[in-house]
Amino acid sequence: MYAFKHLLTALLLCTLCIIPYTASATDTNADYRGYVWRIDTAAGNEAELPHNFRTAASPFQTRTDAAKFGVDPNYTPSREGLDALPLSGSAEFSVPAFHALLKDLHMRAKGSICIVDLRQESHGFMNGNAVSWYGKHDWGNIGRTKHEALRDENMRIRSAQGKDVVLAHLDKKKQPKNPQTIRVVAAMTERELVEDAGVRYVRLAVTDHKWADPQTIDNFVDLVKRMPADTWMHFHCQAGKGRTTSFMAMYDMMKNPSVPLKDILYRQYLLGGAYLAYDPTTQHAPTGWEDADYHHKSEMIAKFYDYVQQNHENDYAVPWSMWLKKNP
């Protein structure tokens, strides 16, 4: 009965969304295709900053999850070079929260502002709400190229305009909770929102829970190299944790190559991010996809640190993708 109930819910949601799933010749995500417009952040008031917002100059937090991740609560990392970084991160913002964010960043930034969107999954804004087309594990676009993912995203956001669409928060089992039907009177992509405000927008499409592919990191390194030193970089993903912390840490490494890896990872964690060295496979045998992905990310963030150590003096003349092939 329970399974039947959720099957009916899913069918209803897909019917009301009126936005078909489209497969491409290279599509490999059939098991993960979306089934609901998830509310990532409801439209609030313009005084509220996005969830998990922090800057490089934010004070270290007292974390209650240190034991879970194997973090030494008595170790205080160096803040060498940290406070001066024009760097921040957060979860996805609603339209009102974006304007609150922009107001805050304009007061901090000495140069221009760049919003770096790290999400591969199709997402955008409907009536001010931040929404995403959610599939299992948040992998609705897994296996797709960046171009294919953006095409899917643009099609879904465009198709929603003027239609009745079901939005829902998700419960712990990732099922729609208290779904609501709205008439979409304002639908836009994040690029449209950001660029309409006169701010630069960059998309680095990274699959949720996973380490970014080599080409994406090549693009990131090139972005950091080309940006004027005073450009304020704001990174975000869906929750403002895994992907956001990964790129904030890599940026920190590139700007502060003399700081030890442990200090980089600890301080990004204590600012409010994820602990990127967490590897559950050191505590027990892998029990699922999450353990394997944590293990892989813990290895790759250390490799990126090694890449920085070997290449910062030559201004990263060797691309990450090429270096990685020689240092598997």
What per-residue confidence (pLDDT) applies to 254?
99
31 or 268: which carries more pLDDT confidence? 268
Residue 30: per-residue pLDDT: 77
pLDDT of residue 176: 95
Joined together, the tokens standing for residue 324 give 């990685």
Report pLDDT for 2.
40
Worst-scoring range by mean pLDDT, 40-54, 72-86, 115-129, 130-144? 40-54
Question: What gap in Å lies between CA 207 and CA 294, rounded to an integer?
Answer: 13
Task: Tell me the per-residue pLDDT of 280-322, one tens digit each, with 9 for 90 and over.
Answer: 998 888 788 899 999 999 999 999 999 999 999 999 999 999 9
Q: What is the mean pLDDT of the chain?
A: 92
Ordered by where they begin, the domains of the chain are: 2-326 (3.90.190.10)
**The pairing of beta strand 113-119 with beta strand 200-206:** parallel
- For residue 171, the model assigns a pLDDT of 96
Residue of 193, 226, 247, 185 whose CA lies nearest to 316: 226
Angle at 59 between CA 58 and CA 63, to 5 degrees: 115
* More confident call, 273 vs 6: 273
Per the CB < 8 A criterion, the answer to whether 138 and 120 are in contact is: no
pLDDT exceeds cutoff 60 at 3: no
pLDDT confidence band for 11 (50 / 70 / 90):
very low
Polymer length in residues for the chain: 328
Tell me the pLDDT band of 18, cut-offs 50, 70 and 90. Answer: very low
Percentage of the residues of the chain whose pLDDT score is greater than 90: 86
Output Rg (C-alpha) for the chain, integer angstroms: 20
Q: Record the pTM.
A: 0.91
Query: Residue 313 has what DSSP assignment?
Result: G
What pLDDT is attached to residue 46?
A: 75
- CA distances 8 to 1, 13, 19, 181, Å, are 11, 9, 18, 16
Residue 286: the pLDDT is 78
For residue range 107-128, list pLDDT tens digits in order: 999 999 999 999 999 999 999 9
Q: Which residues contact 172 (CB under 8 A, 6 or more apart)?
A: none
Cβ atoms within 10 Å of 162's Cβ, excluding its own: 10
* Range name among 25-34, 141-150, 153-162, 168-177 with the lowest pLDDT average: 25-34
Q: In terms of pLDDT, which residue wins out, 237 or 21?
A: 237
- Confidence check: pLDDT of 162 > 70: yes
Average pLDDT over every residue of 217-244: 98
pLDDT attached to residue 28 = 57
| C-alpha–C-alpha distance, residues 225 and 112, integer Å | 15
- pLDDT of 21 > 50? The answer is no
**Helix, strand, coil % (nearest 5) of the chain?**
40, 20, 40
Instruction: Determine the pLDDT at residue 5.
Output: 41
pLDDT score of 104 more than 70: yes
Q: What is the pLDDT of residue 47?
A: 78
Q: Which residues pair with 119 in a beta bridge?
A: 206
Of 26-30, 132-136, 207-211, 305-309, least confident by mean pLDDT is 26-30
